[in-house]
Amino acid sequence: MDNIHRLTPAQDVEQQAADWLVRLDSDRPLSQNELRQLKSWMQTSPAHREQLQRLTQYWHSANQLAELSFPLPGSPRPDGLIANMRYQFRQLFTSARQATATLSAVFTLCMTIAIGLLINSGDISGVSGNGIYQTRIGEQNTITLADGSVIQLNTNSRLQVNYVDQQRQVVLMAGEAHFEVAKDPDRPFLVKAGQGMVRAVGTAFSVRLNPEALRVTVTEGKVALISTTEPAATAPDIPQSAPEQHTRGYLVQGQSVDFKPAQQEGLGSQVHQLQARDLEHELAWRQGLLLFAGEPLKEVIDEVNRYTKLDIQIIDSEIADISIGGQFKVGETEAMLKVLETSFGIDITRPSENTVHLALK
């Protein structure tokens, strides 16, 4: 699909940032469309902005910037910030042996200012953020939307953003995401997942789409939990009415629930009031970590399997309920398996390239 934005690994982001620097160095000024593309690229993820800024700062250290004399005596300077930035960048590469530290610092400052203007500009025409975003197994990434809201996508997740004048809507189609919602009382922020919906104005919460429930955890503010019911089918020539919405309850900061919208009333399960340590445990994935504090091995393996292409199977029922505690970095599956083998007396075998069996030694 043309509107799918596949979030890219760090090395690809670095290459894209380098490509933008080369285009800025071109003799041809960037068109308005290219400027909108650059702005959109930077607003897709904080990692994009950071990489572009990092590459510009590579040319000179902070103490040399502090000694900067601006403008350069006798230097011809094209009118306009972007034009001057391109001029300084071109000078660095065409006269590298004669380029002074001050020239390098001037370029760094010009680029940093220009990037800042692009990032903070109130004009976001052409940058809606609408579209489909997804991560692969083991990937985690961050999206910054046009209104300043930030979405963190966990492993193997997929969602669609649809901003319109009256409301901001996100459809979570698979996986898990955390939302930091920019305040806008005139446009509520809706996250739809299956038959359930979470409504917020300015708050922070996570949603995980499971087969029969939505795991919703609120880290700031308050959200409403809503069930949606599709209207009965009508004749083809009769306009279809909008889905019916029923507010089923509310969650506030520090609360979590497995919301079951198919239930006739209520939330479908007990609301949990989380302590700070429990909340940290629940959302450790946002820091790239998996935390376990006594969960049975079968639950640990179910969680780890979300982050790896390996199929890890417990083939010995005697170890399924072993309590596991520890902290593992997302993506370091082999290190976790090594700990299970050396510290928990579990035998690790590999019947095929992508299959791992666990049994008692």
* 237-261 confidence digits (pLDDT tens): 655 556 678 899 999 999 999 999 9
Query: For the domain 288-360, what is the CATH code?
Result: 3.55.50.30
**CATH code assigned to 131-276:** 2.60.120.1440
With a cut of 60, say whether residue 350 has pLDDT above it.
Answer: yes
Region 332-346 average pLDDT: 89
Q: What percent of the chain has pLDDT over 70?
A: 66
pLDDT band of residue 230 (cuts 50, 70, 90) is low
Q: Residue 228 has what pLDDT?
A: 84
Chain segment 89-121, per-residue pLDDT in tens: 444 444 443 444 444 444 444 455 455 545 444
- What are the tokens at 86? 């391109």
Q: Is residue 12 scored above 80 in pLDDT?
A: no
Angle at 223 between CA 221 and CA 229, to 5 degrees: 175
Residue 311: is its pLDDT beyond 70? yes
**DSSP label of 330:** T
Residue given tokens 């308050």 in the structure block: 222
Q: Given a cut of 60, is residue 233 above it in pLDDT?
A: no
Q: How confident is the model at residue 302 (pLDDT cuts 50, 70, 90)?
A: very high
Contacts of 36 (CB under 8 A, 6+ apart): 125, 126, 127
Label residue 327 by pLDDT band (50, 70, 90): confident
Bridge partner list, 225: 198, 249
Average pLDDT across the chain, whole number: 76
More reliable by pLDDT, 31 or 208:
208
Cα atoms in the Cβ-side hemisphere of radius 13 Å centred on 228? 14
Contacts (Cβ under 8 Å, ≥6 apart) of 176: 153, 154, 155, 157, 206, 207, 208, 209, 215, 285
Per-residue pLDDT band for 68 (boundaries 50, 70, 90) equals: very low
pTM: 0.64
| pLDDT value of position 70 | 33
Residues 315-341 have a mean pLDDT of 89
Gyration radius of the chain's alpha carbons: 25
**Residue 117 Cα distances to 122, 129, 144, 162, angstroms:** 9, 19, 16, 26
User: Torsion angle of alpha carbons 321, 285, 250, 164, nearest 10°?
Assistant: -140
Q: Does the structure show a pLDDT above 60 at 361?
A: yes
Provide the pLDDT confidence category of residue 235 given band limits of 50, 70 and 90: low
User: Environment class of residue 191 by beta-carbon count within 10 Å: exposed (0-12), middle (13-18) or buried (19+)?
Assistant: buried
Q: What are phi and psi of 185, to 5 degrees?
A: -55, -25
**pLDDT reported for residue 65:** 33
More confident residue, 233 or 22: 22
Q: What pLDDT score was predicted for residue 59? A: 38
For residues 44-52, give the mean pLDDT: 68
Q: Name 283's Cβ contacts closer than 8 Å, sequence gap at least 6.
A: 178, 206, 217, 219
The β-bridge partners of 272 are: 256
For the chain, helix (H) and strand (E) counts, in that order, are: 9, 20
Res. 51: pLDDT tops 50: yes
Residue 345's pLDDT band (boundaries 50, 70, 90)? Answer: confident
152 or 12, greater pLDDT: 152
Domain ranges of the chain: 4-120, 131-276, 288-360
Average pLDDT of the residues in 63-85: 38
Per-residue tokens: 96:
């590298």
